[in-house]
């Protein structure tokens, strides 16, 4: 685990999965099929518990310009700059349980933002950085 700093806000376009985990791949396919220039976009996943305890998962792609969410009909979401507790996973496809295991560890870290979420930032087709935002007071100056 390490602290990872996101230097600037990142605007995303989101497609909510109709279920978790079964609907996740379908949500990413919708993004890839309906957005132009997917080879130039960064992809992410956002998840958090819903009111009934079920996991809400949003597949996300980086917005390429202002108001793209309104023009495309995808839900906007902004990853806020700041400090995140994180774990990098290489070749996550070789160990599909690795992402879930990483988040179990990250969510146990003291100082996570109670209003935060689980964030997957895909660095390429096979690597992912799993992150959870920290409260400002939990990071030593």
> In whole angstroms, what is the distance from residue 31 CA to residue 40 CA?
13
- pLDDT given for residue 141 in this prediction: 47
pLDDT tens track for 51-62: 888 999 999 999
> What pLDDT sits at residue 140?
54
Residue range 57-115, pLDDT digits in tens: 999 999 999 999 999 999 999 999 999 999 999 988 788 789 999 999 999 999 999 88
For 114, phi then psi, to 5°, come to -65, -15
Whole-number Cα distances in Å, 45 to 2, 16, 85, 137, 140: 19, 10, 16, 26, 28
d(CA 55, CA 87): 20
CA end-to-end span of the chain: 19
Domain locations in the chain?
2-138
Phi and psi at 79, nearest 5°, equal -80, 120
Kindly tell me if the per-residue pLDDT of 138 is higher than 80.
no
Instruction: Tell me the C-alpha distance between 29 and 44, whole Å.
Output: 13
pTM to 2 decimal places: 0.90
Does 3.20.80.10 match the CATH number of domain 2-138? yes
Which pLDDT does position 97 carry in this prediction?
86
Question: Looking at residues 15-40, what average pLDDT do you find?
Answer: 94
Q: Tell me what pLDDT residue 46 has.
A: 97
Over residues 119-132, the pLDDT tens digits come to: 999 987 789 999 99
pLDDT band at 139 (very low <50, low <70, confident <90, very high): low
**Residues in a beta bridge with 131:** 86, 119
Strand partners, 85: 3, 132
- Is the omega angle on the peptide bond into residue 21 within 30 degrees of 0, that is, cis? yes
């Amino acid at each position: 685990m390490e602290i990872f700093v996101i230097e600037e806000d990142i605007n995303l376009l989101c497609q909510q999965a109709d279920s978790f985990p079964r609907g996740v791949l379908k949500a990413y396919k919708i993004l890839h099929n309906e957005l132009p220039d997917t080879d130039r976009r960064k992809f992410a996943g956002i998840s958090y518990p819903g009111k009934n305890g079920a996991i809400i998962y949003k597949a996300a792609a980086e917005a390429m310009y202002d108001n793209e969410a309104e023009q495309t009909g995808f839900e906007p979401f902004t990853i806020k700059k700041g400090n995140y507790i994180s774990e990098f996973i290489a070749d996550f496809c070789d160990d599909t349980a690795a992402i879930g295991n990483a988040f179990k560890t990250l969510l146990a870290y003291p100082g996570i933002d109670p209003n935060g979420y689980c964030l997957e930032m895909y660095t390429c087709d096979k690597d992912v950085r799993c992150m959870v935002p920290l409260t400002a007071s939990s990071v030593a100056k």
